[in-house]
């Protein structure tokens, strides 16, 4: 399962794993403050709905271009921790300035800057965690148990932030976000880069890899999964509210999904040990198609809606872990940072942005149910793309499909020699 530890290689210590868990706890705690409440803060500052929409769009624009820029820089400088420290400290100082920004143009510039800076955190944090776990052959068993701290941090921030803002008002928003960033900066300061996976070479180019059919099919599937999830993230609460669900009931539905993903992350090693990566990845899309179809066309069955939310364990958690594991076949070592950044930018950035726009059109022009129907169709198409990304490969038993280090070395060797042809598996 995964990579076996190298002979004589030391085991990663529990405190080292603990720092990764605290990183995810802090980062997704910050996300749990931003995602549900930043639009309410903008409204409290007196901005119009149109202005708020443009401000929110700035977050997505930065997620398209920012991750790859930071990933490229981390691969060139051979460090992720120093960039993460810079990102955490700079975003902390920027957020402390937010209460003093009075103009709309000033707030737009501030949000663009903050989004660009914080866009380094997710891909580089994942790249650092994965590099270290792979070094000790521990990805399958340990990644989920580390990543579930992020889910717990998100829940705690959403619930704690709601209670705080109910009592103190939305003007407390930038101070809570700043507090989360301060904690994150302290955690990142205690982290260190993963050991080098071989001699340092001139960083190979990552973009030519996208021309490989298996990589292109995989990235297309990632795009379609996040395109489909735009229906969930943008319209799910609004859909349930329109159908008469109470705010408490809506909160319970979201909580069911996050609890399900935590349970999956804890036990993910068992799944990766039993099934091939192709089966897991394709299966997440099939379940996503089922989830969004049932959500769109059977929303009045409360028991079914609660049951469907359990599928978040597959459509988000299992898809996320399987995608990161699949990514290691092509992007590792000197390509790790940019590989994570490409995945983040194409899926969450481009997929999430276009998904939100198209789902918004179907919501207004067709019907809310068809918004989730479109999401179901996108997920079904994603299943085809995921299967195509494995075309020509012979499935290995269990999870023994991890050839990232060898692939990365071959890519690096190929790139530093004349010619642009990429090695095929």
DSSP letters along 52-73, please?
HHHHHHHHHHHHHHHHHHHHHH
- The predicted pLDDT at position 158 comes to 82
User: Does residue 71 register a pLDDT over 90?
Assistant: no
Asked if residue 221 has pLDDT above 90, the reply is: yes
Sheet strands (E) in 88-204:
none
Helix H or strand E encompassing 80? none
- Contact call for residues 224 and 323 (beta carbons, < 8 A): no
Lowest mean pLDDT among 5-19, 87-101, 129-143: 5-19
Residue 45 scores a pLDDT above 50: yes
Range 69-96 average pLDDT: 85
Give the range among 124-133, 295-304, 319-328 with minimum mean pLDDT: 124-133
Output the pLDDT for position 195. 64
pLDDT at 405: 40
The highest-confidence range among 72-86, 135-149, 176-190, by mean pLDDT, is 176-190
> What local confidence, expressed as pLDDT, does residue 206 receive?
60
Most confident listed range (39-53, 253-267, 359-373, 376-390):
376-390
The structure tokens listed for 67 are: 């991750």
Residues 290 and 297: their CA atoms lie apart, in Å, by 11
Region 385-412: mean pLDDT is 58
Domains belonging to the chain, first-starting first, are: 17-195 (1.20.1250.20), 203-414 (1.20.1250.20)
Q: Please give the pLDDT value at position 388.
A: 94
The residue assigned the tokens 């169709």 is 377
- Residue 216 is encoded by which pair of tokens? 């292109």
75 within 8 A of 412, measured Cβ to Cβ: no
Query: Can you tell me the mean pLDDT for 388-417?
Result: 50
Distance between CA atoms of residues 80 and 73, nearest Å: 9
pLDDT band at 288 (very low <50, low <70, confident <90, very high): very high
Instruction: Output the pLDDT for position 139.
Output: 67
Task: Give residue 207's pLDDT.
Answer: 66
CA distance 372 to 352: 14
- Choose between 180 and 195: higher pLDDT: 180
C-alpha angle 275-411-3 in degrees, rounded to nearest 5: 35
DSSP for 342-403 reads HHHIIIIIIIHHHHHHHHHHHHHHT-HHHHHHHHHHHHHHHHHHHHHTTTTPPPPSTT----
pLDDT of residue 196: 58
Give residue 49's pLDDT band: very low, low, confident or very high (50, 70, 90). low
| pLDDT higher than threshold 80 for residue 114 | yes
Residue 124 contacts by C-beta under 8 Å, 6 or more apart in sequence?
A: 70, 71, 74, 80, 83, 84, 87, 337, 340
The rounded distance, in Å, linking the Cα atoms of 164 and 175 is 11
pLDDT range class, residue 333, cuts 50, 70, 90: low
Rounded to whole angstroms, how far apart are CA atoms 90 and 252?
A: 35
């Amino acid at each position: 399962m995964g990579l076996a530890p190298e002979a004589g290689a030391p085991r990663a210590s529990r405190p080292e794993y603990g720092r990764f868990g605290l990183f995810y706890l802090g980062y997704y705690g910050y996300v749990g403050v931003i995602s549900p409440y930043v639009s309410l803060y903008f409204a409290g500052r007196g901005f119009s709905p149109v202005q708020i929409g443009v401000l929110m769009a700035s977050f997505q624009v930065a997620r398209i271009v920012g991750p790859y820029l930071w990933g490229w820089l981390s691969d060139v400088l051979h460090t992720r921790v120093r960039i993460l420290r810079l990102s955490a400290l700079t975003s902390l100082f920027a957020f402390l300035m937010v209460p003093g920004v009075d103009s709309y143009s000033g707030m737009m510039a501030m949000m663009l800057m903050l989004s660009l800076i914080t866009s380094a955190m997710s891909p580089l944090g994942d790249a650092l965690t994965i590099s270290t776990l792979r070094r000790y052959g521990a990805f399958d068993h340990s990644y989920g148990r580390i990543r579930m701290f992020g889910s717990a941090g998100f829940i705690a921030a959403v619930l704690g932030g709601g209670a705080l803002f109910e009592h103190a008002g939305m003007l407390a928003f930038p101070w809570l976000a700043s507090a989360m960033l301060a904690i994150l900066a302290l955690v990142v300061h205690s982290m260190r880069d993963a050991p080098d996976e071989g001699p340092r070479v001139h960083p190979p180019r990552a973009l030519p890899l996208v021309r490989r059919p298996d990589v292109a099919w995989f990235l297309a599937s990632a795009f379609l999964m996040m395109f489909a999830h735009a229906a969930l993230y943008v319209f799910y609460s609004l859909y349930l509210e329109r159908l008469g669900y109470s705010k408490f009931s809506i909160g319970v539905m979201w909580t069911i999904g996050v609890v399900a993903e935590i349970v999956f992350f804890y036990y993910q090693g068992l799944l990766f040990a039993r099934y091939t990566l192709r089966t897991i990845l394709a299966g997440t899309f099939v379940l996503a198609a089922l989830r969004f179809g049932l959500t769109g066309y059977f929303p009045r069955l409360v028991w079914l809606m609660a049951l469907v939310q359990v599928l978040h364990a597959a459509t988000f958690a299992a898809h996320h872990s399987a995608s990161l594991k699949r990514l290691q076949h092509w992007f590792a070592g000197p390509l790790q940072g940019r590989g994570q950044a490409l995945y983040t930018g194409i899926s969450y950035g481009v997929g999430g942005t276009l998904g939100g726009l198209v789902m918004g059109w179907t919501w207004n022009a067709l019907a809310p149910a068809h918004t989730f129907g479109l999401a179901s169709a996108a997920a079904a198409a994603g299943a085809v793309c995921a299967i195509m990304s494995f075309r020509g490969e012979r499935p290995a038993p269990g999870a023994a499909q991890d050839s990232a280090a060898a692939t990365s070395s071959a890519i690096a060797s190929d790139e530093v020699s004349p010619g642009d042809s990429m090695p095929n598996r």
